[in-house]
């Protein structure tokens, strides 16, 4: 039996081989994630109980594996099983009218403080005020205004036509939005894997992101790294992408090569091979 969403394993499963995908343990790394020490203690207890009930623990990256090993007792070494991209470069032309013909950047993901969306909006709006940037910013994903400041920034950008909230998009439309973007901007500080940069690279979209947590493991040398806390560095990267077609083309080519290292076939093979080993090891003579 496989439990794919970081736990929730019941007791008394008999002689079955039990596996879990523990995607990450980011709550233990993100400052202020728990309301109080009791919530953290409960999280640790629940995850340890799930781990104790497993023969195989899969996780999404070597970074997540190290954090799991650091925080929990393990019967065996966690198995790193990378995702593959799900978006295909050959589709998406229908998305062009939705995004428009003017140059634009894309943020893809939920509105979450750890994703650096406030810092992105700060830098983006200031560059427009200074006349240093022309492209718009499309926000793709479920909106969640976690602070009044975030809401004000989005309202300012929307009112001036600089920012557009797209919400969720069908895959075919999302492919078109990414393919025609100047870059995906993903200033996240904490990721157990980081799927949006992989999806973007796979369809030929340049990527600006951070060198935090698992992201360099996925993106390699195929993206433009920034420090989200350094507004000057962040702004310089955005302007470079907009003003240097050769840089965009180089990142597109490098991104496709990097994304090709990750496939669902490899993921499936890793998954099945490790389940078979655990099943054989668990059989009694």
Residues 127 and 67 in one domain: no
* End-to-end Cα distance, the chain: 21
- Look at residue 279 in the predicted model and tell me its pLDDT: 86
Residues 180 and 102 in one domain: yes
pLDDT, tens digit, for every residue of 120-160? 999 999 999 999 999 999 999 999 999 999 999 999 999 99
Number of H helices, E strands in the chain: 11, 10
Residues 135 and 51 in one domain: no
Q: For the chain, where are the E strands, in sequence order? A: 2-3, 19-21, 56-59, 79-80, 104-108, 136-140, 163-167, 183-186, 207-210, 224-226
Residues 248 and 177 in one domain: yes
CATH number of domain containing 150: 3.40.50.2000
Residues 24/57, Cβ–Cβ less than 8 Å: no
Return mean pLDDT, the chain. Answer: 93
Residues 64 and 140 in one domain: no
- List Cα–Cα distances, 79 to 1, 62, 73, in angstroms: 16, 9, 15
Share of the chain above pLDDT 90, in %: 89
Which pairing describes strands 104-108 and 183-186: parallel, antiparallel, or unpaired?
Answer: parallel
- Look at residue 282 in the predicted model and tell me its pLDDT: 67
pLDDT, tens digit, for every residue of 262-283? 999 999 999 999 999 988 876 5
Query: Which residues, in sequence order, are bridge partners of residue 167?
Result: 140
pLDDT, tens digit, for every residue of 48-65? 999 999 999 999 999 999
Residues 120 and 53 in one domain: no
For 27, list phi and psi in degrees, rounded to 5.
-55, -25
Residues 268 and 165 in one domain: no
- Provide the 10 A C-beta neighbour count for residue 142: 10
Residues 67 and 158 in one domain: no
pLDDT, tens digit, for every residue of 169-211? 999 999 999 999 999 999 999 999 999 999 999 999 999 999 9
Q: Domain residues for 108?
A: 93-259
Residues 253 and 278 in one domain: no
- Look at residue 79 in the predicted model and tell me its pLDDT: 98
Residues 10 and 104 in one domain: no
Residues 180 and 240 in one domain: yes
**Total number of domains in the chain:** 2
Residues 100 and 32 in one domain: no
């Amino acid at each position: 039996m496989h439990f794919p969403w970081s736990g929730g394993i019941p007791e008394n499963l008999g002689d079955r081989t039990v596996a879990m995908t523990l995607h990450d343990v980011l709550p233990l790394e993100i400052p202020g994630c728990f309301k109080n020490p009791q919530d953290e203690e409960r999280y640790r207890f629940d995850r340890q109980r799930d781990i104790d009930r497993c023969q195989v623990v899969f996780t999404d990256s070597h970074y997540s594996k190290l954090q799991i090993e650091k925080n929990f007792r393990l019967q065996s070494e966690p198995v790193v099983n990378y995702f593959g991209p799900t978006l295909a470069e050959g589709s998406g032309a229908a998305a062009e009218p939705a995004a428009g013909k003017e140059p634009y950047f894309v943020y893809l993901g939920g509105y979450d403080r750890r994703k650096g969306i406030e810092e992105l909006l700060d830098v983006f709006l200031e560059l427009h005020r200074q006349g240093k940037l022309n492209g718009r910013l499309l926000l793709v994903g479920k909106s969640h205004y976690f602070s009044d400041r975030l809401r004000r920034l989005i309202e300012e950008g929307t009112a001036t036509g600089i920012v557009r909230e797209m919400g969720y998009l069908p895959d075919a439309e999302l492919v078109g939005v990414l393919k025609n973007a100047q870059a995906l901007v993903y200033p996240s500080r904490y990721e157990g894997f980081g799927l949006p940069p992989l999806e973007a690279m796979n369809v030929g979209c340049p990527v600006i992101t951070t060198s935090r947590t698992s992201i360099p493991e996925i993106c390699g040398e195929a993206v433009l790294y920034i420090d989200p806390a350094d507004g000057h560095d962040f702004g310089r990267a955005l302007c470079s992408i907009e003003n240097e077609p050769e840089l965009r083309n180089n990142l597109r080519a490098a991104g496709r090569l990097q994304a090709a290292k990750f496939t669902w076939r490899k993921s499936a093979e890793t998954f099945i091979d490790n389940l078979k080993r655990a099943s054989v090891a668990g059989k009694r003579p």
